[in-house]
A and B are shown apart, each in its own frame.
Chain A
Amino acid sequence: MELQEKITILSGAARYDASCASSGCSNDTPRGGMGNTSQGGICHSWADDGRCISLLKILLSNDCRYDCAYCVNRSSNPVPRASFTAREVVDLTMEFYRRNYIEGLFLSSAVNVSPDHTMEAMVQVAEILRNEERFGGYIHLKVIPGSSPELVRRAGLAADRISVNIELPSSESLKRLAPQKSKEAILAPMKLIGAESGMSLVERRKSRKAPRFAPAGQSTQMIIGASPETDLQILRLSQGLYSRMNLKRVYYSAFVPVNEDNRLPVLAAPPLLREHRLYQADWLLRFYGFSAEEILSDDAPNLDESFDPKTAWALRNPGFFPVEVNRADYATLLRVPGIGVTSARRIIAARRFAPISPEGMKKIGVVMKRARYFITCSGRPFERVDQQPARLRQRLLLGDGSEPKLPRQLVLPGLG
């Protein structure tokens, strides 16, 4: 089979993996070799769906013995099958890297003979890149659930980041939609990775020559909207993964119906807004000091479609506001809709020179469209803060109110 055709099949089969990060570690170029990584990561292009391309994201093979309901590569699908040789993936990675198309490789694979068989082949690709090509760029390896601890260890030593996909937000859904996979087989390597990278950090504190184990940490991803879990269940799961498993990232992937299957919901379009809201909530968990239980409750277990989760929280907690921007501490500023991590830091830096005026807030980059209802500057409110949540909701939705943009009501003569 031509290389062109293999790329078409195996990148097309890999596109449903959400992660493409190349951040989280910084390596120097190896002696006599090629490539380094930078802490912040670098995006090299943006595909037609607007998602960034940072890595050569590809499957080693799409020839799968599993039959997961949601997956385009499932064994019962009549799609063309292809497999790369290790050398082909290595050469592609190097040729693309030399031309600055990519930061490195993100390799995943379908499972054919056995998890260990596939994992071994993937680890080999990474080891050839590191040892023969002396490649110093980014490598992200997917870990196949059920592969042996020894192979997971080798993967962690060769790669910058490794990930195990949790696939679905609950073990019931996993049983129903991916009966050949189990929660235990997924969680076991996650725990092992967490323990190994923790140990590697300790060792490296003693000696800088100690081997690094997945220095950019581990991530995971789950499909949203293929199964009945609420957003609260999903956020609780993520919260647990961040706090107990020490994950770097949880990716949410809006369910794209690629198969017809009566176990799957029928959707007109992928739930992209829901995915977006989950990412916003995920940021609140990781950088804004919120807990899942503050963002959602058992009474209202799903994220609001009209408002971002922080604005929704602010609307439910009017007692917390208004916040005085010239006095509030960092954690308090972070809770104001329209003030993010960057603008909260800037507010604190700027007010050491002079009290911040409403004009100053704009200069700093605060989104005043949202923040104006929740703050005071040296005691002065921007807006007469309306204590009626219903009216505040409407103003937030419609803008500042100077130009009434109310949906025009159709008045029919003779009626009413």
Chain B
Amino acid sequence: MNNYLYDGTPEGLVSAIASILDSGENPEETHLAVRQDTLFEEGLFLRTDSALAEALFERLRQRAPDAVYTLWYFMMAEADGLETSLLRYIALAFEHGDRVNGYLTHADVKGIVGTARKAGRELHRMKGLLRFEQLRDGTWLARMEPDCNVIQPLARHFSRRLRAQEWFIYDARRRSAAHWNGSDLSFGTLEQFSRPELSPEEQAVQQLWQTFFKTIAIPERKNPRLQKSNMPAKYWKYLTEKQGE
């Protein structure tokens, strides 16, 4: 088994995979991990090379466009410890093209595709569960703490849907924010965040929604377990209808 290390950044990961594949190493006999800077750590450190990472992306796009999508979603999941699986997955993608996503009986493919799917699921979930509040200046703010880093595709979704209003999405876990000004989308990070004041009518609309939420359930069919399994409690913190529970 040949051990390799990289710096822990997404770009470093792709560039490390590129140099291993270029070296002609057999991926099935190779191990890739993040450098921990401990004594006696074994393995060859591969320096991050943007050009190398870029070139790998481009070649993969030609050979297996679906695998690029999978890779994109996989990166959103920010999963640890699957570097070796990703190396083998990409090697298989070059070998088999887009069919690779169907090779679910292969443990590494299963790991990568499964993790990517997890991010895709959360992105879809957030499209429904994100809540915007109107601020005093008439702009809108939505806060969230998703497990996966979904802010980019999520913001693109709302830039199409809520095109006519100016809004911000804030990811409190990563301190990152997206801003739509009515025509352009921009992304950044925030050092500090305090929730701005809400518009005077915001409270009234939130109450109407809470009333609707309460009365739309059929009392004879009450089923909190089903509710929780569809809408896990970790998302309740920012849900208007779940405030005060």
Contacts and interface: CB of A to CB of B under 8 A. Distances in A.
Interface of A: 3-4, 7-8, 11-12, 14-16, 28-29, 32-36, 40, 42-54, 56-58, 92, 95-96, 98-101, 254, 256, 269-270, 272, 346, 349-350, 352-354, 356-357, 359-360, 363-365
A3 B210 CA distance: 13
Contacts of A40: 124
A56 B216 CA distance: 9
B41 to A, nearest CB: 32
Contacts of A8: 211, 215
Contacts of A48: 214, 217, 222-224, 227
A45 B104 contact: no
Nearest to B100: A353
Contacts of A92: 208
Contacts of B234: none
Nearest to A103: B128
B212 to A, nearest CB: 5
A254 B223 CA distance: 15
Contacts of A15: 215-218
A353 B102 CA distance: 9
Contacts of A99: 131-134, 140, 205, 209, 240
A100 B104 contact: no
B105 A34 contact: no
Contacts of A95: 205, 208
B99 interface: yes
B105 A363 contact: yes
A198 B209 CA distance: 37
8 contacts: A14-B216, A35-B162, A45-B213, A45-B231, A48-B222, A49-B223, A49-B226, A98-B132
Given A29-B161, A99-B240, A47 B105 contact: no
Name the residue among A11, A48, A92, A98 with the largest chain B CB count within 10 angstroms.
Answer: A48
B230 interface: yes
B161 A35 contact: yes
Given A43-B230, A44-B128, 11 more contacts: A11-B215, A33-B164, A34-B161, A34-B162, A36-B160, A49-B219, A96-B209, A98-B140, A100-B132, A101-B240, A346-B102
A8 B169 CA distance: 31
Contact of A349 (B104, B107, B130, B209): B104
Contact of B164 (A34, A51, A272, A354): A34
Interface string B96-128: 100101111111001000000000000010011
Given A50-B227, A50-B230, A364 B240 contact: no
Contacts of A44: 128-129
Given A29-B161, A100-B142, A49 B218 contact: yes
A50 B214 CA distance: 12
Nearest to B111: A363
Nearest to A253: B218
Contacts of A96: 205, 208-209, 212
B237 interface: no
